[in-house]
């Protein structure tokens, strides 16, 4: 690098500007479709470049830039450090896949305004970059809210449907409330003499009370975006409403920006952590995780299911962050690094496989116009590419070796198993419960994903038209395959990924996982080889070796005669597609076991019904326990307030008169 | 200063012209031309003040400093863009048979007169003349509010007239008391009402008189600014008048009223040496924000809805000025600017939307973005901007205000945030309903004026990202003057 | 890597693959005796598997490539699992590739493939079986992990080699938590291997079956592989139990001299264990399907309690 | 106590009296008369001020008051009352005795408020400020308690009278230009009122402000 001075920050900035330019170009394009498609592909190239550039910057010292924009006295500060770089890598990778897919996806143009969508899509990408680069409160808020705003427009891009409009509304309101909490948090954090740059905040002194207040506000603010309980309600509404590539971006990347913000404030801007924060975060994370997975199990809409699954995954990440804080507060930096790495790794994983799965649902919707699990099935036959890609995503999200989801869960479990070294006995007692919750959620997640994949892709088609569904086109396949490759490679070479993540941990905690990561490229050994080790490549090689050996043996030793016949099914003669287990049926056991969690409305047929009909709706209890009462309260207050405004001039004059007299008496009394 | 003369005489000339020719075929264009040249004069004046500092003219009768010239420029600019918007708007009204030639003459004449009185109020050095200008502004708009002669509009105008008339009378009493206090220091004759004189001796004024004077001034001009509970004229007046008038009422008149309050506060602070004036203003501001926020939840008329939004923003600005200090006042001034720009842009869009829908009822306006994407997106972006979403400038102002409030008055910041969240929900829900969804609107004969909408929104957007140095210096100077 | 290590790994895996049906046969035979039947003999599973391999495969019309690949994948996973569990010797060369958590993951992988294959044909019983199988797994898997965590905490490692060495070679120490773990483990093992009281390996009564329902559509060599994998799974569980709770007698890798002892010890333990399993199955009745979660929840709670006990009583911070 | 002082005090007392009388009076023509009387008092007060100070512009101001407040406005209102055929007004909120009681309280409040200012100021304005303030508040009260639009306008004009009285008696008149401006505004206001009455009449067939009580959609549903 002696002759080329390469600095990543301007390059990253350039990519963001490039995306903005693409968006504007998209707005001005003619109705000519192909021109529009090229824009998304060009955007994908930008994503790849971003990932490479940011990966390059991972280990570097932070670089900063100031733009001559922003408020007077508070110009836009940008900073690229390892934490931001890691999330930029995540963003770049996910965007590459999603934009490639979008190239093939945003073609029909029948329902949405292509040009406006293209604009918002690329602005959304750029806004996320700016969120990650921001180094002062104002820039951060501007980028953060712009991100919310454009994603709101994307969510409502098909706004002819009332439920999509209300989903978008709910989303933006929750996002805005969260943003206000973040604003308050910055207000608490601000440095000496009102410094709102992050640099000033880092060096500010504050009492434990204010530090805790700031952390809790950050938890609420970023929780609203990430979907921590009880601010998760928008997720299952907004994700299904958005076009699938947008759902993928929101779930895969945007939620991570909230995690980024939490880490930025929790570890970077607040230099000292307290164990109680960690316990709060841990508990909140676990509850969110369980809640998400249980609701995912009973969904009948495939995108809602994935949205609830996102809540689960975010809860897992939060739990890991909580654990990291607990370790950090007890001066155990190596273990904190382990937990933090698990969190970050899971962020990356979730970005890859959740994007992949949302894109797969996009392909399915594109081909079938169906979102309800009750009307899908058997798509593995007409859509083998999509089904194959979705299978990888399903196995990855279910946390199975040798794919990537397993690695992060494995690291997190290792961190949990190391927590008995904590000096505080009360904390130690939390550990088993927390571990139990974690593994339970992981296991139910596998259940959920089997349901998802099985009902959508396997079995017999539940609608006749599904047989003629078309597979993804070349661009869509490219996007899917890119993400599949990401899942597989991150799963098989976790040590490489951990090397990158380790820089982040080092940057935030002052010490990373250290030599433990660098031991051997084949084995992940978070603490020491005796303690634990895992080598996904060997596991895969083992499975493939045995499978091929057995296959060859069987092939050579025995005849391979195969005959096709109707399914046996214990000899039942008529087998229609309606006799398969439905999505509701699949969720039924979970519903029954965890009944107190749900709010279930049943419509039971009576014995005398001519056309008996059974219907059950499962709803979020929190919606009724929290959101609706809140809305009612606000409406009631509005009712009281509006009584002031009754249209009688005399009374209005009385108001003025009373105000005047009250003020006069007030100042006379002073 | 010739530009000052042009600035003040041109609208007057316009008013006289239109009193006779206001219904002619080219009157809308002429209206825009008058406003355009006025705006030009304002720009020239602004440049001069920027270069040479505060100006006095005509035997100290006129005084233009950074604070007033910034509002002069804003007023003239919004006056100009509104006249552009009013061109197709009023033509459509004529086509719809809602206004006749007489009404059109009245409209154009009063429009010019209104802008003229606003400019007079801002440039005069005499707080008595300031009062006269404010009263005249009320009188000019009162007939415009009842222009359509529907029962509702007559009611609204009557309410406007009585409430503002009574309110402004209180302001006169305050002015008299101020004169009483000043006279003891400056002696009788013309100088005791001159701002430049008053400002110099403000710490010698008798506190007990100034306290009472300030209360009367606050109640008086506060009525015009729409502070709760004195605001009751505002929603109706916003709803029933022609939309260009709504735009200037909301974007200009309220600002000028706040300008008068801010000037009064300077004197009160100087005389009292206590934060009493600021505390009163903060109290009014908070109450206004909270009540207006909750009121937005109950609105079914789109113009009333945004009328309440104006009330809320006036509360925020009053709060900012009340808090005082360089940062908060800066935020207040920025807020005035962006609110004027955004709110008038919203009313432009709303005006076209209501003409298309033939109603102002929110529930009957649907799918704007389908029938006319520009108006739809204009309304949507305007709504988003006025709700304080970045990257628009309103957010910049709110950011400054809230962060300052959090250091100085944390409890108040919390109240403000709750109120902002409530009004966010209330307004977004309704804007979304109008802009999105399946369309039900009909096309118009005269093409809507989209340019003013997007010019305003573009300026607001720019202010969210970038405050030109001269503007920032200007605000700082003005904040120094009134902070 | 020394070749003898590789050899020992290969030998152990082969040993497991060969012995697995025998273990299954032993359990079935014991059960037959307990039920006053003569029983088909301990080699019956071999005969079944051999017969199935020779039969032709009848595939449902709807079956996709997934359906055909699954038997091989499941079999591969199970063989790999035997390669991880220290059956006869510790410090196997493959052990660093996967620890207990990965082992559970591997078992879960096999199960998920099984469930997906069951859903693939789109029959009523297939999907019913898949659902029930996944339900059992959703509760049994966390319990299993929690069971594994107790020895992991004692040994401060999740590597099976380290765990077994610690437990086998340590001076006698009382670990009450292991008692909880053992009970929970047995319950999980019953559930995971489709034994009474959770499932009935012998039934084809539609409404009660769990595991059998998932493999209804399989035939021929596919079914042979699955049956064999099933036997392997039982063996894996049995040997894990032995390794964790009665590890004495196991050889270290490369110690060829200790191997015969290890084989004998394992055989003895398996004989006793199989008999015990048969007794359990005979004296208990199958639970209703919705009682199964309660059964497993009990196991889960036992494991959590065990961990709590460990952290309260045994941990030395 | 100089003659001027006594005169001003007398005028102030009469001012207060007329204010109370207006509060009690329900006949519209009588109200207009009272308004004209206030105009006369105002002119007198201005003349006294002019006499004391010798300012020429105060004589002009007195003339202005005379023309506007004694001649033009009352005439205009009388014609309106006749043309629109109005005779009586009713109380909108509370009955007359109560109104009077409230009015007395207001006078006390006004005096109390004006006390510190009166204390520090010299010569002739001793009690005048309190009375001016009281007149303003009483006029305000009258506007609140009356139902007819015309009465409200009269209340409004009475309020303006109170303000003018304050200006003349307390400060010997405002600067001329301001006075002119205010007078112009009052005149314009009167014209606007006139236009309004006909608009109201034309729209509602009545000048009762009950018709002006709106029940706009979305607010006050329970009224």
**Residues A384-428 pLDDT 10s:** 899 999 999 999 999 888 888 899 998 898 888 887 777 777 777
B294: nearest CB among A188, A641, A664: A641
The Cα–Cα gap between C293 and C191 comes to 10
Question: Can you give the pLDDT at residue A351?
Answer: 93
Alpha carbons within 13 angstroms on the beta-carbon side of residue A159 total 28
> For residue A271, what is the enclosing H or E element?
none
Query: How many other CB atoms are there within 10 angstroms of residue B469's CB atom?
Result: 10
DSSP state, A618? E
Q: Mention every residue, 6+ apart, whose C-beta is less than 8 A from residue A640.
A: none
Q: Is the pLDDT of residue D123 over 70?
A: no
The Cα–Cα gap between C100 and A598 comes to 34
Range of the domain at B329: 288-483
Query: From the CB coordinates, do chains C and D have 3 or more pairs under 8 Å?
Result: no
Alpha carbon of residue C52 to chain centroid: 22
The Cα–Cα gap between D103 and A20 comes to 68
The Cα–Cα gap between C133 and C141 comes to 11
Tell me the two tokens of residue C176.
């009450």
Enumerate the H helices of D54-95 as residue ranges.
56-65, 73-83
Q: Give the nearest chain D residue to A648 (CA atoms).
A: D213
| Mean of pLDDT values over A309-338 | 90
Average pLDDT score over chain B: 88
Asked if the interface predicted TM-score (ipTM) of this complex is over 0.90, the answer is no
Left (φ > 0), alpha (ψ -120 to 50) or beta: where does B71 sit? alpha
Question: Residue A543 pairs with which residues in a beta bridge?
Answer: none
Cβ-contact B112, B140 below 8 angstroms: no
Question: Residue C60 pairs with which residues in a beta bridge?
Answer: A565
Q: Is the pLDDT of residue A619 over 90?
A: no
More confident residue, A465 or B8: B8
Domain-embedded: residue D74: yes
Percent of chain B with pLDDT strictly greater than 90: 39
Tell me the two tokens of residue A307.
């949205």
Query: From the CB coordinates, do chains C and B have 3 or more pairs under 8 Å?
Result: no
First to last CA, chain D: 56
Domain-embedded: residue D16: yes
Contact A645 B295 (CB under 8 A): yes
Q: Which of C269, C211, C258, C201 is nearest to C48 (CA)?
A: C201
More confident residue, B256 or A626: B256
Domain-embedded: residue B203: no
D209: nearest CB among A646, A649, A661: A649
Domain-embedded: residue B402: yes
Q: Is the pLDDT of residue A112 over 60?
A: no
The Cα–Cα gap between A150 and A249 comes to 12
In this structure, the dihedral spanned by the alpha carbons of residues C33, C38, C42 and C45, taken in order and rounded to 10 degrees, is -110
* Chain A contact present for B280, CB below 8 A: yes
Alpha carbon of residue B444 to chain centroid: 29
The Cα–Cα gap between A363 and A398 comes to 21
Alpha carbon of residue A592 to chain centroid: 28
Q: How far, in Å, are C76, C115, C143 from residue C110 at the CA level?
A: 9, 9, 18
Q: Which long-range contacts (CB under 8 A, 24 or more apart) does B188-193 make?
A: B188/D53, B188/D55, B188/D171, B188/D172, B189/D175, B190/B126, B190/D175, B190/D176, B190/D177, B191/B60, B192/D175, B193/B126, B193/B127, B193/B128, B193/D174, B193/D175, B193/D178
Domain-embedded: residue D217: no
Positive/negative CA dihedral, A210, A216, A221, A222: positive
Q: Mention every residue, 6+ apart, whose C-beta is less than 8 A from residue C224.
A: C48, C49, C50, C52, C53
The Cα–Cα gap between A245 and D214 comes to 51
Q: Which residue has the tokens 């970005």?
A: A351
Cβ-contact A515, A425 below 8 angstroms: no
- 3 state DSSP class of B296: helix
Tell me the two tokens of residue A308.
């609830």
Q: Give the nearest chain D residue to A653 (CA atoms).
A: D144
- Report chain A residues whose CB lies below 8 A from the CB of D143: 653
Q: What is the pLDDT of residues A515-571, one digit of tens each?
A: 656 557 777 877 777 778 888 888 898 899 989 998 998 888 887 788 888 887 777
Average pLDDT score over chain A: 85
One-character DSSP codes across C129-168: HHHHHHHHHHHHHHHHHHHHHHHHHHHT---HHHHHHHHH
Count structural domains, chain B: 1
Q: What is the pLDDT of residues B398-447, one digit of tens each?
A: 998 988 888 888 888 889 999 999 999 989 999 988 888 777 767 777 77
Q: Mention every residue, 6+ apart, whose C-beta is less than 8 A from residue A365.
A: A244, A371
B407: nearest CB among A183, A194, A644: A194
Q: What share of chain D is helix, strand, coil (3-state, %, to 5)?
A: 80, 5, 15
> For residue C251, what is the enclosing H or E element?
strand C251-252
Alpha carbons within 13 angstroms on the beta-carbon side of residue A511 total 12
The Cα–Cα gap between A553 and B287 comes to 84
Q: Mention every residue, 6+ apart, whose C-beta is less than 8 A from residue A604.
A: A614
Q: Between residues 12 and 71 of chain C, which touch chain A (CB distance below 8 Å)?
A: 53-54, 56-64, 66
Question: Can you give the pLDDT at residue A216?
Answer: 92
Contact A663 B280 (CB under 8 A): yes
Tell me the two tokens of residue A330.
């007890």
With contact defined as 3+ CB pairs under 8 Å, the chains touching C are: A
C206: nearest CB among A433, A570, A590: A570
Cβ-contact A12, A129 below 8 angstroms: yes
Q: Which of A240, A257, A411, A407 is nearest to A319 (CA)?
A: A411
The angle at the Cα of B362, spanning D215 to B383, to the nearest 5 degrees, equals 115
Banded pLDDT at D77 (limits 50, 70, 90):
confident
Contact A643 D92 (CB under 8 A): no
Q: Mention every residue, 6+ apart, whose C-beta is less than 8 A from residue A527.
A: A334, A338, A414, A418, A516
Cis ω before D18 (30° cut-off from 0) = no
Question: Can you give the pLDDT at residue D92?
Answer: 63
Select the residue from D138, D178, D209, D220 to test the B interface by mutation, using most B Cβ atoms within 10 A: D178
Question: Residue C59 pairs with which residues in a beta bridge?
Answer: A564
The angle at the Cα of A44, spanning A43 to A47, to the nearest 5 degrees, equals 95
Domain-embedded: residue D80: yes
Q: Which of A74-83, A312-321, A454-463, D103-112 has the highest mean pLDDT?
A: A312-321
- Report chain A residues whose CB lies below 8 A from the CB of B437: 159-160, 162, 165
Q: What is the pLDDT of residues C10-26, one digit of tens each?
A: 888 888 889 899 988 99
Q: Which residue has the tokens 């009064």?
A: B264
Contact B304 D216 (CB under 8 A): yes
Residue A43 has φ and ψ, to the nearest 5°, of -65, -40
Domain-embedded: residue B108: no
The Cα–Cα gap between A536 and A524 comes to 9
Cβ-contact A490, A537 below 8 angstroms: no
Cβ-contact B60, B125 below 8 angstroms: yes
Range of the domain at D142: 3-209
Count structural domains, chain D: 1
Kindly provide the residue ranges of all beta strands, DSSP E only, lying in A53-210, ordered along the sequence.
63-71, 74-80
Question: Can you give the pLDDT at residue A34?
Answer: 60
Q: What is the pLDDT of residues C60-83, one digit of tens each?
A: 888 888 898 999 999 999 998 888
The angle at the Cα of A664, spanning A658 to A669, to the nearest 5 degrees, equals 125
Cβ-contact D52, D172 below 8 angstroms: yes
Domain-embedded: residue B171: no
Domain-embedded: residue D199: yes
Q: Between residues 306 and 325 of chain B, which touch chain D (CB distance below 8 Å)?
A: none
Domain-embedded: residue B423: yes
Tell me the two tokens of residue B34.
């008058």
Contact A190 B230 (CB under 8 A): no
- 3 state DSSP class of A179: helix
Domain-embedded: residue D42: yes
Banded pLDDT at A372 (limits 50, 70, 90):
confident
Residue A400 has φ and ψ, to the nearest 5°, of -110, 140
| Mean of pLDDT values over B220-239 | 90
pTM of the predicted protein model:
0.90
Domain-embedded: residue D198: yes
Contact B219 A660 (CB under 8 A): yes
- Report chain B residues whose CB lies below 8 A from the CB of A655: 229-230, 232
More confident residue, C289 or A292: A292
* Chain B contact present for D123, CB below 8 A: no
Percent of chain A with pLDDT strictly greater than 90: 27
DSSP state, B301? B
The Cα–Cα gap between C261 and C241 comes to 19
- 3 state DSSP class of A598: strand
Question: Residue B126 pairs with which residues in a beta bridge?
Answer: B194
Tell me the two tokens of residue B25.
């075929």
- 3 state DSSP class of A75: strand
- Angle, helices B373-386 vs B325-357, to 10°: value is 150
Cβ-contact A427, A279 below 8 angstroms: yes
Q: Between residues 365 and 384 of chain A, which touch chain C (CB distance below 8 Å)?
A: 377-378, 380-381
| Mean of pLDDT values over A47-65 | 87
């Amino acid at each position: 690098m002696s002759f080329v001075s390469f600095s990543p920050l301007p390059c990253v900035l350039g990519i963001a500007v490039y995306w903005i330019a693409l968006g504007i170009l998209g707005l001005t394009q003619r109705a000519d479709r192909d021109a529009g498609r090229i824009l998304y592909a060009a955007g994908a190239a930008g994503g790849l470049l971003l990932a490479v550039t940011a990966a390059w910057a991972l280990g570097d010292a932070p670089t900063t830039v100031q733009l001559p924009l922003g408020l007077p006295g508070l110009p836009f500060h940008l900073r690229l450090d390892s934490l931001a770089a890691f999330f930029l890598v995540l963003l770049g990778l996910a965007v590459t896949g999603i934009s490639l897919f979008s190239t093939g996806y945003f073609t029909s143009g029948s329902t949405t305004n292509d040009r406006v969508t293209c604009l918002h899509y690329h602005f959304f990408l750029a806004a996320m970059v700016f969120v990650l680069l921001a180094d002062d409160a104002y820039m951060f808020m501007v980028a953060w809210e712009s991100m919310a705003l454009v994603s709101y427009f994307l969510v409502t891009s098909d706004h002819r449907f009332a439920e999509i409009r209300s989903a978008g509304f709910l989303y933006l309101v929750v996002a805005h409330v969260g943003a206000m909490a973040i604003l308050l948090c910055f207000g608490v954090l601000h440095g000496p003499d009102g410094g709102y740059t992050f640099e000033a905040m880092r060096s500010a002194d504050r009492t434990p009370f204010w530090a805790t207040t700031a952390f809790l506000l950050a938890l609420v603010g970023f929780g609203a975006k990430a979907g921590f309980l009880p601010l998760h309600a928008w997720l299952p509404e907004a994700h299904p409403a958005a076009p699938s590539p947008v759902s993928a971006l929101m779930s895969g990347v945007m939620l991570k920006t909230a995690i980024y913000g939490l880490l930025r404030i929790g570890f970077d801007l607040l230099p000292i952590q307290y164990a109680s924060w960690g316990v709060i975060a841990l508990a909140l994370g676990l509850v969110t995780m369980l809640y998400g997975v249980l609701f995912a199990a009973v969904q009948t809409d495939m995108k809602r299911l994935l949205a609830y699954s996102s809540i689960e995954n975010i809860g897992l990440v939060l739990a890991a962050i909580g654990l990291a804080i607990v370790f950090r507060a007890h001066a155990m930096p190596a273990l904190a690094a382990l937990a933090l790495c698990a969190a970050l790794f899971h962020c990356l994983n979730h970005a890859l496989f959740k994007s992949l799965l949302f894109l797969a649902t996009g392909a399915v919707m594109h081909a079938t116009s169906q979102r309800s699990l009750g009307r899908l099935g058997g798509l593995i036959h007409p859509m083998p590419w999509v089904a194959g890609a979705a299978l990888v995503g399903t196995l990855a999200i279910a946390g199975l070796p040798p794919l990537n989801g397993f690695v992060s869960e494995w690291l997190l479990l290792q961190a949990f198993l190391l927590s008995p070294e904590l000096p505080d006995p009360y904390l130690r007692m939390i550990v088993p419960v927390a571990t139990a919750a974690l593994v339970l959620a992981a296991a139910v997640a596998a259940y959920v994903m089997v349901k998802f994949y099985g009902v959508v892709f396997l079995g017999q088609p539940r609608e006749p038209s599904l047989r003629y569904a078309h597979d993804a086109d070349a661009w869509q396949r490219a996007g899917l395959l890119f993400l599949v490759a990401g899942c597989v490679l991150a799963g098989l070479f976790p040590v490489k990924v951990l090397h990158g993540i380790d820089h982040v941990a080092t940057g935030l905690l002052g010490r990373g996982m250290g030599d433990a990561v660098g031991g051997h490229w084949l084995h992940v050994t978070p603490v020491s080889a005796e303690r634990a080790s895992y080598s996904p490549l060997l596991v895969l090689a083992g499975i493939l070796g045995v499978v091929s050996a057995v296959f060859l043996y069987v092939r050579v030793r025995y005849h391979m005669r195969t005959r096709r016949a109707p399914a046996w099914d214990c000899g039942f003669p008529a087998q229609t597609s309606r006799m398969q287990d439905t999505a509701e049926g699949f969720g039924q056991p979970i519903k029954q076991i965890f009944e107190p969690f749900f709010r279930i409305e049943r419509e039971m047929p009576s014995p005398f019904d001519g056309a008996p009909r059974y219907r059950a709706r499962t709803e979020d209890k929190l919606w009724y326990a929290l959101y609706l009462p809140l809305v009612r309260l606000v409406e009631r207050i509005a009712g009281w307030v509006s009584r002031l405004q009754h249209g009688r001039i005399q009374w209005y004059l009385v108001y003025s008169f009373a105000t005047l007299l009250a003020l006069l008496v007030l100042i006379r009394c002073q | 200063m010739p530009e000052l003369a042009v600035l003040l005489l041109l609208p007057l000339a316009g008013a006289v012209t239109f009193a006779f020719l206001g219904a002619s075929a080219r009157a809308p264009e002429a209206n825009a031309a008058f406003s355009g040249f006025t705006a030009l004069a304002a720009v020239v004046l602004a440049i001069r003040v920027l270069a040479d500092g505060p100006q006095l003219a005509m035997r100290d009768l006129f005084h233009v400093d950074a604070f007033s010239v910034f509002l002069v420029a804003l007023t003239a600019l919004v006056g100009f863009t509104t006249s552009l918007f009013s061109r197709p708007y009023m033509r459509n009204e004529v086509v719809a048979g809602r206004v006749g030639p007489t009404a059109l003459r009245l409209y154009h004449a009063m429009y010019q007169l209104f802008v003229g009185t606003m400019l007079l109020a801002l440039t005069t050095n005499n707080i008595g003349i300031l009062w006269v200008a404010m009263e005249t502004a009320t009188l000019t708009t009162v007939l415009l509010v009842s222009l359509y002669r529907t029962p509702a509009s007559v009611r609204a105008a009557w309410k406007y007239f009585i409430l503002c008339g009574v309110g402004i009378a209180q302001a006169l009493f305050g002015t008299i008391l101020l004169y009483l206090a000043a006279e003891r220091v400056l002696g009788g004759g013309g100088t005791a009402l001159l701002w430049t004189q008053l400002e110099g001796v403000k710490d010698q004024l008798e506190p007990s008189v100034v306290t009472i004077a300030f209360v009367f001034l606050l109640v008086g001009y506060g009525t015009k600014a729409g502070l709760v509970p004195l605001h009751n004229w505002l929603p109706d007046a916003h709803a029933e008048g022609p939309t260009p008038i709504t735009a200037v009422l909301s974007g200009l008149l309220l600002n000028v009223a706040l300008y008068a309050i801010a000037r009064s506060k300077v004197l009160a602070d100087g005389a009292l040496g206590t934060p009493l004036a600021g505390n009163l203003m903060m109290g009014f501001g908070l109450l206004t924000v909270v009540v207006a926020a909750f009121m937005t939840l109950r609105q079914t008329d789109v113009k009333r809805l945004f009328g309440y939004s104006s009330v809320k923003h006036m509360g925020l600005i009053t709060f900012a000025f009340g808090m005082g200090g360089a940062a908060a006042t800066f935020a207040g001034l920025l807020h005035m600017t962006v609110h004027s720009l955004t709110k008038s842009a919203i009313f432009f869009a709303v005006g076209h939307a209501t003409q298309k829908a033939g109603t102002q009822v929110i529930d009957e306006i649907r799918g704007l973005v389908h029938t006319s994407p520009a108006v739809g997106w204009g309304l949507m972006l305007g709504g988003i901007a006025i709700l304080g979403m970045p990257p628009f400038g309103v957010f910049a102002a709110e950011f400054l205000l809230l962060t300052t409030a959090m250091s100085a008055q944390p409890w108040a910041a919390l109240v403000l945030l709750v109120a902002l969240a409530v009004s966010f929900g209330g307004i977004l829900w309704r804007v979304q309903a109008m802009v999105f969804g399946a369309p039900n609107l009909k096309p118009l004969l005269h093409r809507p004026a989209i340019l003013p909408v997007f010019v305003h929104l573009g300026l607001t957007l720019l202010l969210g990202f970038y405050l030109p140095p001269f503007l920032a210096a200007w605000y700082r100077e003005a904040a120094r003057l009134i902070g | 890597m020394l070749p003898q290590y590789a050899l020992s790994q290969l030998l152990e895996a082969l040993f497991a693959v060969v012995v697995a049906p025998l273990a299954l046969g032993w359990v079935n035979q014991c059960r037959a005796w307990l039920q006053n039947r003569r029983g088909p003999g301990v080699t019956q599973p071999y005969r079944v598997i051999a017969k199935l391999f020779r039969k032709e495969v009848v595939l449902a019309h709807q079956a996709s490539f997934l359906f055909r690949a699954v038997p091989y994948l499941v079999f591969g996973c199970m063989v790999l699992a035997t390669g991880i569990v220290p059956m006869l010797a510790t410090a196997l060369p493959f052990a660093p590739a996967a620890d207990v958590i990965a082992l559970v993951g591997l078992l879960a992988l096999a199960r998920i493939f099984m469930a997906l294959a069951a859903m693939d044909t789109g029959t009523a019983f297939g999907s019913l079986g898949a659902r029930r199988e996944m339900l059992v797994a959703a509760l049994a898997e966390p319990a299993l992990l929690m069971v594994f965590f107790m020895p992991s905490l004692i040994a401060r490692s999740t590597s099976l080699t380290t765990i077994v060495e610690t437990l086998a070679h340590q001076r006698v120490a009382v670990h009450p938590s292991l008692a909880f773990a053992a009970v929970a483990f047995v319950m999980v093992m019953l559930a995971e291997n489709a034994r009474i009281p959770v499932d009935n390996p012998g039934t084809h009564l539609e409404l009660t079956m769990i595991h059998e329902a998932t493999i209804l559509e399989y035939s021929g060599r596919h079914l042979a592989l699955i049956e064999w994998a099933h036997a392997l799974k039982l063996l894996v569980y049995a040997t894990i139990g032995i390794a964790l709770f009665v590890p004495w007698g196991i050889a270290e890798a490369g110690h060829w001299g200790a191997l015969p002892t290890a084989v004998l010890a394992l055989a003895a333990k398996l004989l006793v264990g199989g008999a015990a399993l048969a007794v359990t199955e005979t004296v208990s009745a199958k639970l209703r399907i919705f009682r199964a979660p309660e059964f497993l929840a009990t196991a889960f709670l036992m494991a959590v309690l065990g961990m709590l006990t460990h952290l309260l009583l045994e941990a030395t911070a | 106590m100089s003659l001027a002082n006594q005169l001003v005090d007398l005028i102030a007392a009469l001012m207060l009296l007329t204010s109370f009388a207006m509060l009690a009076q329900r006949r519209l023509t009588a109200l207009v008369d009272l308004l004209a009387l206030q105009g006369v008092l105002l002119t007198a007060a201005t003349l006294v001020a002019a006499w004391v100070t010798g300012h020429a512009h105060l004589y002009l101001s007195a003339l202005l008051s005379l023309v506007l407040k004694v001649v033009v406005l009352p005439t205009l209102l009388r014609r309106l009352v006749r043309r629109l055929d109005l005779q009586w007004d009713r109380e909108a909120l509370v009955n007359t005795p109560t109104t009077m009681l409230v009015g007395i309280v207001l006078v006390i409040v006004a005096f109390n408020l004006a006390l510190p200012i009166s204390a520090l100021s010299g010569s002739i304005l001793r009690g005048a400020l309190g009375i001016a303030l009281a007149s303003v508040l009483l006029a305000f009260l009258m506007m609140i308690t009356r139902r007819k639009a015309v009465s409200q306008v009269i209340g409004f004009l009475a309020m303006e009278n109170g303000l003018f009285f304050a200006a003349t008696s307390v400060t010997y008149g405002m600067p001329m230009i301001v006075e002119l401006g205010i007078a112009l505004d009052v005149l314009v206001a009167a014209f606007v009122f006139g236009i309004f009455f006909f608009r109201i009449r034309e729209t509602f067939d009545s000048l009762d402000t009950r018709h002006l009580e709106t029940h706009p959609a979305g607010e006050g549903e329970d009224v």
